[in-house]
Amino acid sequence: MSVTIKSPADIEKMRIAGRLASEVLDFIEAHVQPGVTTEALDRLCHDYMVEQQGCVPAPLNYAPPGYRPYPKSICSSINHQVCHGVPGPKALKKGDIVNLDITVIKDGYHGDTSRMFQVGATSILAKRLCEVTYECLWLGIAQVRPGARLGDIGHAIQRHAEGCGFSVVREFCGHGIGTKFHEEPQVLHYGRPGTGLELREGMIFTIEPMINAGKAAISELPDGWTIVTKDRSLSAQWEHTILVTADGAEVLTRSAGAPGIPELVADQFTTR
C-alpha cells in the first residue's frame, strides 16, 4: 500500500470526521477533574460518540498485527504515560497531566486528535512540557505544503523539543489516515530537512509528537498497550489530522473548543 491522494469527496468526509473527533474533546474537557477515573471519561466519550454523534469509536477492539484487541474507546495517558494509556479505575488527582486521544469513524472515515489536559494546578515543568509539545505540533503543521518533505516536519519538531531540553519519542509516529485508521506514510517527529517523502496536495496524515521531559526511551506495560517513559519522566502529546492543500495545510480536527495557533508560529500562518 502506498500513500493515497484523497478525492474532493473523501476530503469532505474527512472534514466531518475530524470536526467530530475534536468535538468529543470539547465535550469531555469539563469532566477532566480531580477524582474522576479514566474509565468514567472513557464511558462518557463512548456514549457521546455513539449516541450523540452517530460515530464508531475507532480504538474499541482495534487490533493491529502483534497487538491484542484494544479494550476501550479512547486512550488516556497520564503523567509518565506516553501514549495508548488504557482507561481504568484510577482517579485523576490535582497536578496530573493527561492526554486524551480520540479517534472516531463517521461514514467510514477516521478523524484522529488528542489534547493535553491539566488537572487542577500543575508544576511549572508540566505546564512547560505541555506548551512546548503544542508548539512542536504547530511547528510541524507550519511545514506542510506541496513540495515540502516529511523530514522538514520531523526536523522542526525535534529542533524545538530538544532546544527546550526535552526529548522526542522515536517508536511512535504520525500516520496517513482515511478509511483506515493507520495508513502510509509514517510521519516521524524527528529528522533532517529536505529528506523523506515529498508532500502532495490531497494527502491526509496526522502529526502527533510525543515529547518527554527526560530521556526518549520508552517501555510497554504488561497490558500490551500502555507506553511509559523508561525513566518515569513526564510525557506530553498533541495530535491533529492535517490535509495538504494547494498552498499549505488545513487542520481537519478543528472545533469551537480547540486551542488556537500558538504565538510562536502565528507569523507563519498570517499570509495564508
Sequence letter at residue 98: V
Q: Contact letters (x/-) for ligand MF3, 119-158, by CB under 6 A?
A: ----------------------------------------
By the 8 A CB rule, do 252 and 241 touch? yes
Q: Rule CB under 6 A: is residue 75 a binding residue for ligand MF3?
A: yes
Say how many residues touch ligand MF3, by CB under 6 A: 12
Crossing angle between the packed helical segments 38-47 and 8-28, to the nearest 10 degrees: 130
Contact pick of 22, 38, 76, 103 for ligand MF3 (by CB under 6 A): 103
Contact pick of 27, 70, 190, 238 for ligand MF3 (by CB under 6 A): 70
Query: Shortest Cβ distance from residue 124 to ligand MF3 (Å)?
Result: 28
Q: Closer CB to ligand MF3, residue 95 or residue 224?
A: 224
Q: Rule CB under 6 A: is residue 62 a binding residue for ligand MF3?
A: yes
Contact pick of 6, 15, 80, 84 for ligand MF3 (by CB under 6 A): 84
Buried b or exposed e, range 140-178, using 16+ CB within 10 angstroms: bbbbbbeebbbbbbbbbbbebbeebebbbbeebbbbbbb
Q: Closer CB to ligand MF3, residue 114 or residue 167?
A: 114
By the 8 A CB rule, do 262 and 27 touch? no
Q: Binders of ligand MF3 among 160-219, rule CB under 6 A?
A: 206, 208
Q: How far apart are the first and last CA of the chain?
A: 32
Q: Rule CB under 6 A: is residue 112 a binding residue for ligand MF3?
A: yes
Q: Rule CB under 6 A: is residue 59 a binding residue for ligand MF3?
A: yes
What are the angstrom distances between the C-alpha of 203 and each of 4, 19, 143, 183, 228? 7, 18, 14, 11, 31
Partner from ligand MF3, Co ion, none binding residue 70, C-beta < 5-8 Å depending on class: ligand MF3
Contact pick of 42, 152, 239, 250 for ligand MF3 (by CB under 6 A): 239
Which cell numbers in the block locate residue 131?
506548551
- Distance (Å, whole) CA 17 – CA 25: 13
- Distance (Å, whole) CA 241 – CA 206: 4
Q: Rule CB under 6 A: is residue 20 a binding residue for ligand MF3?
A: no
Q: Closer CB to ligand MF3, residue 28 or residue 75?
A: 75
Phi (first) and psi of residue 188, to 5 degrees: -75, 150
Q: Closer CB to Co ion, residue 79 or residue 206?
A: 206
By the 8 A CB rule, do 48 and 26 touch? no
Q: Which residue is nearest to ligand MF3 (CB)?
A: 59
Residues that bind ligand MF3 (CB under 6 A): 59, 62, 70, 75, 84, 101, 103, 112, 206, 208, 225, 239
